[in-house]
Structure 1
Amino acid sequence: FIIATFIIALFNGCVIFSSSQVLDTKDIQVFKVTVNGQDAQFAFGEKHSFKGTSLKITFPFELRRGQEAIVEISFESSPKSSALQWFTPEQTSGKKHPFLFSQCQAIHCRAIFPCQDTPAVKLTYYAEISVPKELVALMSANRDGEVPDPEDSSRKIYRFSQNVPIPCYLVALVVGALESRKIGPRTLVWAEKELVDKSAFEFSEAEAMLKTAEDLAGPYVWGQYDLLVLPPSFPYGGMENPCLTFVTPTLLAGDRSLSNVIAHEISHSWTGNLVTNKTWEHFWLNEGHTVYLERRIGGRLFGEQFRHFQALGGWRELQNT
């Protein structure tokens, strides 16, 4: 395995019901649970084909109103986790090292760690990822540096913190032989070295799009806005993971002609990531407002005719669907 350590330290958004807590899991083994340092009983519910299994934690004490409970879970995810895609070295561009990326939207975060896997609940998190020292780990969070792994000199630990509350589907992780190029005051583009320079050229308009989005929607609160170019098997054009947008290499047209996808993912920093649909039944609230903001960015940068052209294309596509 690439990962040795994965710690979710802050479940600020979790809703706790009196003396117990119910979390979502899928293909996860749980070894031990403590609440405020005391051993707690836990039990899995009935397994569902795609939702997974509920995990009920019974507290060793009655939780009083206003009392803080720190729940620590020792667990292990499955190599077959529906949230994680693992590559052999032969499946990467460099052919030398393995590669891992996650995709948690819509309800796959529960296949990485126990959580309340609904967009109605938001959390902050802190994570430490231990990887072989020739690899790089990135997450949907701000980077807090790297240190040697004290338990293994061949590895290093990357630290991350996400201090803006997010729904679980925006927790993201990638590990691979990655390089970066700076393309703006708050933007790096990450990719395997075979694609990183081409990616830097393709997405060089990111800062202009960010500034335009701020003019339209208010300050960008996430700090860093990085882009990660994934292997071709990534199943979406882009995924708006905070601080680290995932994009497909099929956007690398060589002439920046597909950059509207980046405007779309940037827009999600406000519509979706900050203000989120409460249930997946109303996913259109995330995507509809994001498409609107994406087109407004395009109109500011490339002219109102460009925005109208995109809108006409979208209307035609909706009619065909």
Structure 2
Amino acid sequence: MTFSFLTIIIVSATVFYIYFIHINQQKSTPKTKMSNGESPFFNLPTAIAKLQEELKNNPLDPNSFARADQAKVEHLDLNLTIDFDNHILHGNVVLSARKISPNVQYLLLDTVDLTIFGVYQLNDNIQQTIPFKLYPPVPEFGSKLEIDISGFDLEKFQIRIDYRTNSTSRALMWMKPEQTHDKRHPFMYSQCQAINARSLLPCQDTPSVKATYSAEIQAPKELQVLMSAMITNDPKLIDDDRRVHYFNQKVPIASYLIAIAAGDLVSKKIGRISHVWAEPGTIESAAWEFAEIDKLMDAAEHFAGEYVWGVYDVLVLPPSFPYGGMENPCLTFATPTLLSGDRSLVYVIAHEISHSWTGNLVTNANFEHFWLNE
């Protein structure tokens, strides 16, 4: 292959020009830095090792990045949409928090596989973007979310975090219609114990922190949403396909007790403050099985004192539910295998009721002492 002399001149000039521009850019452009001063090409194993050491040295809970001795979340307000097609929840959570240490610089939260779209300070209906950093994930424990609150003047403050969960969230279980009893609609439920709430929402995921919460949850109109909280209003139709459901939990709870379920559910009253929830095909057998629930409540209050949670409902989950029961406040999750037809397994409900005092009301400070719950 041959080239003309003119072609050689043009190519040579072009190469020289590109080299000249490259050299000048290197001289004039500063090195990019991470928000903590590290190069973007930092050593990942070393960074994770430092985070593991930080967990180990947390004086409150070695399973959490949260430092409630510096800044503490006191209320969470969830605004989420359930997306059954993509197996995610998306929306935002507003955290009402308080500085414990007046000079605290960061609010530290736990996350696992959450996509954070933005963090904002809310002040007198004014929204202001604030800096945050999501650290590399530590195996089993997730990523530290560090929110800069150094510029906040007031002791109490509100932060909104826009986010979505991951389709593989370890807190959320998604069932196809064929995995349910009636096989008509999909079903979703959560299991946050012990440290899975951090894959449901960014939070201080340690039982040493208790907070109240409220929620507005959008879901397909044919489904009923339930949470570990009081239902405050009837569901409201917001368009042709969706309803919004309203909840409030007025008693401070640990993050692992935040629970949600959505499916083809109906209810039947079984006690003074109790309903049973189940799929239409099992509601009658569930109502009969737990019809004497007031006797269990009376016995529990006799030994433990006043029941403070307002309602005590039981949700019978689809057959694919792999646990015996879960003591979510206001709403025990129960396996359908309890529906024996002779009330011989109702003792499991008695066990879950007792958690309304031991565990839900009086809680171990961290999961090194989980035996106190049981």
Q: CA deviation at 1:24?
A: 0.3
- Paired residues in the alignment total 284
Kindly indicate whether the alpha-carbon contact (under 8 Å) linking 1:4 and 1:130 is maintained by their aligned counterparts in 2.
Answer: no
Uncovered stretches (5+) of structure 1, i.e. residues with no partner: 288-321
Partner of 1:50: 140
Task: State the TM-score, normalizing by the size of structure 1.
Answer: 0.84
Q: CA deviation at 1:184?
A: 0.7
Q: CA deviation at 1:235?
A: 2.4
Q: 1:49-75: CA deviations, max 9, x gaps?
A: 2111111011261445xx211011000
Q: CA deviation at 1:134?
A: 0.9
Letter in 2 for 1:239: M
Q: CA deviation at 1:8?
A: 4.2
Equivalents in 1 of 2:96, 2:356: separation in Å? 21
Please point out which of 27, 30, 33 is paired with 2:113. Answer: 27
Kindly indicate whether the alpha-carbon contact (under 8 Å) linking 2:171 and 2:196 is maintained by their aligned counterparts in 1.
Answer: yes
Kindly indicate whether the alpha-carbon contact (under 8 Å) linking 1:119 and 1:277 is maintained by their aligned counterparts in 2.
Answer: yes
Equivalents in 1 of 2:240, 2:311: separation in Å? 30
- State the structure with more CA Rg: 2
Task: State the TM-score, normalizing by the size of structure 2.
Answer: 0.72
Equivalents in 2 of 1:11, 1:155: separation in Å? 28
Q: CA deviation at 1:277?
A: 0.5
Kindly indicate whether the alpha-carbon contact (under 8 Å) linking 1:146 and 1:156 is maintained by their aligned counterparts in 2.
Answer: no
Uncovered stretches (5+) of structure 2, i.e. residues with no partner: 1-82
Q: 1:11 to 1:249 in 2, by over 3 A?
A: farther
3-state SS of paired residue (1:33): strand
Partner of 2:369: 282
Q: Point out the more displaced range, 169-178 or 31-40.
A: 31-40
Letter in 2 for 1:195: T
3-state SS of paired residue (2:318): coil
Q: 1:206-240: CA deviations, max 9, x gaps?
A: 11111111111111000010000012232221100
Letter in 2 for 1:32: G
Equivalents in 2 of 1:271, 1:118: separation in Å? 17
Letter in 2 for 1:94: D
Alignment of 1:91-102 (within 5 A): 91-102=179-190
Q: CA deviation at 1:4?
A: 6.4
Q: CA deviation at 1:272?
A: 0.4
Identity of aligned residues (%): 50
Q: CA deviation at 1:40?
A: 0.7
* 2:175 pairs with 1:119: no
Please point out which of 175, 179, 198 is paired with 2:262. Answer: 175
3-state SS of paired residue (2:299): helix
Please point out which of 136, 150, 154 is paired with 2:224. Answer: 136
Alignment of 1:130-169 (within 5 A): 130-150=218-238, 152-169=239-256
Equivalents in 2 of 1:147, 1:192: separation in Å? 18
Letter in 1 for 2:151: F
Q: CA deviation at 1:243?
A: 0.3
Kindly indicate whether the alpha-carbon contact (under 8 Å) linking 1:13 and 1:123 is maintained by their aligned counterparts in 2.
Answer: no
Kindly indicate whether the alpha-carbon contact (under 8 Å) linking 1:184 and 1:206 is maintained by their aligned counterparts in 2.
Answer: yes
RMSD: 1.8
